Structure 1
Amino acid sequence: MRFIFLVSTLFNVILSQSNPVSFSSNIGSIARAGEVINIEILASMEDKWHIYSVHKITEGPLPTEISISGDVIGSIGPIIEPEPKYVFDPGFDSETYYHEGDTKFSLFSRLKRDLQPGKYPINIEIYYMVCNERLCYPPKVKNDVVYVEVEEGSARSDRTSFALLNNQSGNNNSQIDNSLLGILILAFGGAIISWIMPCVYPMIPIIISFFGKMSEEKNVSRFTIASFYGLGIAGTFVAIGLGVSILSWGVTDIAAKSRYANIGNFIATDPFLNLGLGILFIFFALWMFGIINVNIAGKLVNKTDQAGQSSKSAYLGAFLLGVAFSITSFSCTVPVVGTLLVVAATGTAGGMLTSLYGMIVYGLVFAAPFVALSFFPKALDKIPNSGSWMETLKISFGFIEIAAAVKFLWVPDLEWSIGLLPRNVVLIIFIIIGTALIGYLAGLFSIGSSSNVKPFRLGRGRIVGVLFTLFFLYPITMSVVHPPTYHYDGMPRLMDEFIEALVPPPPTEDEIAREEGWFVDQYDEALEEAYRTKKPLFIDFTGVYCANCRVMERRVFPQNEVKEQLDKMVLARLYVDKKDSLSEVYSKMQFERYNQATQPYYVILDPFDESTLADTGGYIPKGFSQFLEKGANKFSKRDYNEK
C-alpha cells in the first residue's frame, strides 16, 4: 500500500511540475451588439522553451489550440498569430513551426446582434504542449474567463468586419491579408479567363465599333460611352456580390447557431450544402461541354437591351447596354463567377467582405478591355482572331469543373460515412479526369461543337495544356502509389498543401495501425486475444506527439527482422498523451507498473499472468529485434499449454 501511494505521489509530482509557459487574456474595449471583438492571449515562455503554431500544422507535434465559448458569441473569426519560427525535426520527418518568448495571439469574434447592455463572460480554453530541445511536457489545458462589456447603440461600421478590426489592432500577421490577396488573384484571373470565353471574345470588336457609332449619334466622346458601358458591366457583378454578401451575413447567423464556427466552416463542411455545390458544378461542366444550354434571363436581357437602345441619355443607355451584355455573358461566365463566389464566401475575412470584394475586382477587370480598347481602337488589329481555340479552352474548363464537383461531393460522403469516395478513389478520379483532358487536348476524342472542327491540329495551346495537366497529375499520382500514408513527402510543400485541400484526409496513424493488426488503445482486448491465441503481448507505450515514437514505428518496425518477431506476438499500441481519460489510465499504468514516464517504451507481457518478459525504452534502432527475440524466447520456455 505504501508503495502504491509513493508511486501515485511521484506520478502526480511529474504532472504538476513547474510550467515554463504562462497565459494571460484580455479584451480591448467596450463593444456593442453585432460588433467584432478582439480577444488577446499572451503566452510568456521561459528561455529555451516553446509552444507550437496554431495554423502551420504538420504531421508532428501538437499544434496550439485556442477556443472560446459563451452566450454572447455570434460567429468566430480567425486566430491571428505572429509568424512562427521553424526548424526541420528529423523525428517527425517534417518542418515544425513554433513560438518562443512572449507571443500574442488574437482571436476575433462577432457578438450577437440581439444583446442587451451588460457584462458577459467568455470562456477561453487553450490546449498546448510546451517543449525544449530535450523534452516535452504532456499536453495541458489552460482555462480562463474574460468579460466583455456591451454598451447601448447600433454596431459601428468600422467594427463589423474581421479584416478592418485586424488592421486597427496593428497585428502584423498576414492571414487575413493573404485571404483577400487570394480572392484578388482569383477574381483577376477569372475575369481574364472570361474575356476569352466564346460568348465574350468575339463580341469585343463588335462592341468597340458600336461605341464609335453611338458616339456619333449621341455626340458624346467614345471614351465616355465606353466608361459608362464598363460601369454597367462592373455594376452588374458588384450587385451580384452585394446580394451574396447579404446572404452570407444571414448564413453566418445560421452557422453561429449550429455546430459551425463561421460561414467558411459552414460551406467547407456542411454535407447538404456541399452536395448541392457538387451537383451545381456538374451542371456547370455539362454547360461548358455544350451538352446542355440554358437561356438565362432572356426576357430581362431583351428589356434591358431595349431600354438601353431607346434611352435618350447616352450615359444611361450605355450603362444599361453594359448590364444587358453582362447578363448575356452569363452563358459563359456563370461557372467562373460561381466558383469565385464559393471560394470568396469561405474567406477568413468573412463571407460578406470577400464576396463583395471579389465581385468588385472581377467586374472592373472584366470591363477593362472594353474601356481600354475604346481609347486605342487600333489595338484590335493586334489581338488574335476568335476561333476553335476558344471552344477548346471552354471544354478544358469543363473538365476542371468536374474535378471541383468531386471535391465537393466527397464531403457528404465522408460526413455520412457512405464510403463511395474515400481518399484513394478521389485521387484516382482526378487522375481519370486529367487523363481524359489530355486525351481531348491530344485529339483522341471530341466533345460538343468541337467535333465539327476539321481538320484537327495540335497547336501550341493544346501542348501547353497537356504539360500543365501533367504538372498536376504527377503529385496526384504519387499520392496514390505511396502507401500507407497516401501522401508523397517528396513534392514541394505548396503543391502538397494544394493536393491535400482537394481530397479527403489521409488515414490516421491509428487507422493504419489497425489495418496492420494492432490493438490501438485496447489493452483488455489485446490481452484477451493474446491469452486466446497463446502468444506474448507486445505493448507500445507511445504518444501522438512523440518524435522518436514515429521514427521507431515508421523506420524500425517495418524492418524484416523486426517484423518477423512482431508477427509472432499480439500487438497493442497505447497512447499516453491524448486528450481523453483513457490516455490518463495508460499513462498511470506505464508509471505504476514500470516506473517509466517517457515514450517510446516497449513491454513484452505473458498474457496469462501479465508478468514482464522484457522491457526497454527510447529510440533503439539497433538491437530492437534482439530485444523482441529475447521476450519471445522467454515466453516459449514457459509451459503455457497447461495454463
Structure 2
Amino acid sequence: MKRLISNITFFLIVLVSFAQDGEDPVKWSQELVSLGDLQYELVMKANIEEGWHMYSQFTADGGSLPSEFTYVDSGTGYELIDGTVESETLKEYSDIFEVEETLFKNEAIFKQRIRLLNPDLSQVKVELFYQVCKEVCIPQDKDFYFSLDGTDIKPEEENVDAASMAKADALKLDLKNKEILKGIGGSSSGKDSGLLVIFGLGFLGGLIALLTPCVFPMIPLTVSFFTKKSQTRSKGIFDAGLYGFFIVLIYFLLSLPFHLFDSVDSQILNTIATNIWLNLFFFLIFVFFAFSFFGYYELTLPSSWANKMDSASNRAGGGLGIFFMAVTLAIVSFSCTGPILGGLLGSTALAEGDVATNLSAGMLGFGVALALPFALFAMFPAWLQSLPKSGGWMNTVKVVLGFLELALAFKFLSNADLVGNWGIFKREIFLGIWILIFLLLSMYLFGLFKFPHDGPRTKLSGLRKITAVVTSLFCLYLISGTFQLTNLKLLSGFPPPDFYTLAEQESDCPLGIDCFKDFEAGRAYAEKENKPILLDFTGWACVNCRKMEEHVWSDPEVFQLLNEEFVLISLYVDDRKTLPENEQFKFRYESGRVKSIDEIGEKWGTFQTINFNAASQPYYVMLSPDLYLLNSSIQNTDTATYEKWLKEGLKNFQAYQRNIVISSR
C-alpha cells in the first residue's frame, strides 16, 4: 500500500510536468570522431544543472525511467558496434520506488561507435528519451544530428510545410480596432478574488483536517510539549508559533514544483485540466481516497520517513529541531490530510486561472488553518480545557469527507465524458449518481449502517442529526432539479450543462440559443443577417463557463440580447474530436516550438491565442462581420456588468454601421 501511494504521488507529478515545455536543466553538446575505415564514434555530452540528476540506461527495473537511445536507420545506412558506453555513474537508493537507482550528476557522456553500410550516407540521427529530476521528474526528448559530409543540418522537426503554414495563416484574423482589446480581458480584481476563494477553500480543508483522528489528538500533546519544555511562557509561545510557521511553510513549499516551468505552451493548463486520461486518473484516485476515509484501508507514507524526521528533530534542537517536528506531523498525518490535499489539487485543476498559482494559494490556506491552533492554544493554554475529547465523532468526519470525495470523483468522470463526447454521463445520470451518494450519506448519518472503523452504536449527537437533515434536504434539491422543478444554480458548473441531457433537444447550445461552432460559418451568417458576432471561447469541462450560462445568460434581458441581437459563435477549446485529415496542420509558436493541430479544441485554442493573446475560458469578444472589434473582451463577471457590456457593444455596432454608410456616399 505504501508503495502504491508513493507511485501515485510520483505519477501525478510526472503527468503534470510531462505536459510542460519548460527549459531543460540539461545542456547538451555533441561531437563526431572519425575512426577511419568507415567507422565513427558519436559522442553526446550532458551538462546537468546543480541539484538535478538524470538516469542511466541501466538503472534498476521498477524505479525511474532509464535513458533510451534510438539510432534511426541503424541496420540499413550503418550498423552499431557494441552498445552505447556511459561515463561514470552514481548509485542512490530511492525511498519512493524502494530500489537502488543508477544516475548521473553534473555531467554525463555517452559514446556509440558505428560502421557505415552505405558510404554515401550524409547524416546520422539519434533520438534520446530521458528523465531529469529534482523535486519533480521531467521526461525529455532530445534529437542529435551528426553530419558525416560536413554540411549543416537543419532538423526536420523545425520545418513546417507550406500547406500547414497556409492553414495557420488562415486562422489569423485581420482585426480592426484591435487596441480596444486592452480593456477588460479579465480584471486583476477578478483574479485576486478567485485566489481568495481558493485560499478560503484551502483554509476550510485545513480546518476539516484538524477534526480528523490523525491531527486532532496531536494538538494538546504538541502544545503541552512546548509549554512544559520551555523555561518561560513567552519562549513556549514563540516555539509553538515557530512550529505553526513551519507547518505553513512546508505545505506552501509542496506547491513550488508546479512553478518550475513558466515557459509553457499557452494552452497547456487547459490541456492538463481537460485531458481525458488525467480526468479518469483523478476519478480513480478520488474513489481510492474515498474508500480510505470509509476505513477499508489506511494511506500512509513510509514509516521510515517519520522515524528519520523524528530522530533529526531530537538531534538538531532549537529552530531546526522544530522544523523537523513539523515535517514529522505532515508525514504521520498523511492518511487524513492526503485525500484532502488531493481534493484541493483537483479543485485547483477545475478552477479558472493558473493551476500552480491556485495551488499555492490553496496550500497556503491549508497550512494556515492547520497551524493556527498550535499557536493559539500555546498563547491561551486554558482553551485546551474547552476542546472536545477525541472519539467516534472524528470517524464520522472522515466518512463524510469520503462521501464528498466520491461526489467529486464523478465530476472528473463527467469531464472525461464531456470532452470525449462519449454521451454516457448525461445530466440526469450524473445527478442520479449524486442523489444516491448523498442519500447514502444521509442514511449513514441517521445511523442506518456503519463502516469498518465505526465503534459501537451510540446515541446520535444533535450536530449529526442536523447534518443528516441538511443532507436529506440537499437530496430533495437534487431530485427537484433532475425533474426540472427547480434550477440548480447553486451547483452551476458541476453537473453537465442543461443541454447535455437524455431528453431530445432542438439545440445543443446553452439555453437553446441558436449558435455556431465554427467561426467562418458563424461569420458568414452574421454578414448575411447584418448582426454583430458574440465570440464565446468556452469548454465542455469549464466550470465558470457553465456558471456564466446558467447565472448570467439566463437573465431575461441578457437572454433576449443574445437570442435576438447577436450571432453566437461558441468555440470549445477542449473538444477532443479529431479534425478531418485535410484540416490538420502544424503550427509554429514564436519560440520556434512546433505543435500538431489534430483536434477541434486545439484549433480553436490556437485561434484564441494568436488573435486575442488569451488562453482562459470563458472569454467573450464582440466584433462585426468584417472583424471590427466593438468592445473590450470580457470574462467571468456579474449579470449587470455583462448586460452593460453587451448593450455598449450593440450601440458601437450601430454607430459603426452608420459610419460605413456615411463614408460610402
State the TM-score, normalized to the length of structure 2.
0.48
State the TM-score, normalized to the length of structure 1.
0.49
Structure with the bigger RCO (C-alpha within 8 Å, sep 6+) is 2
- Structure of greater Rg: 1
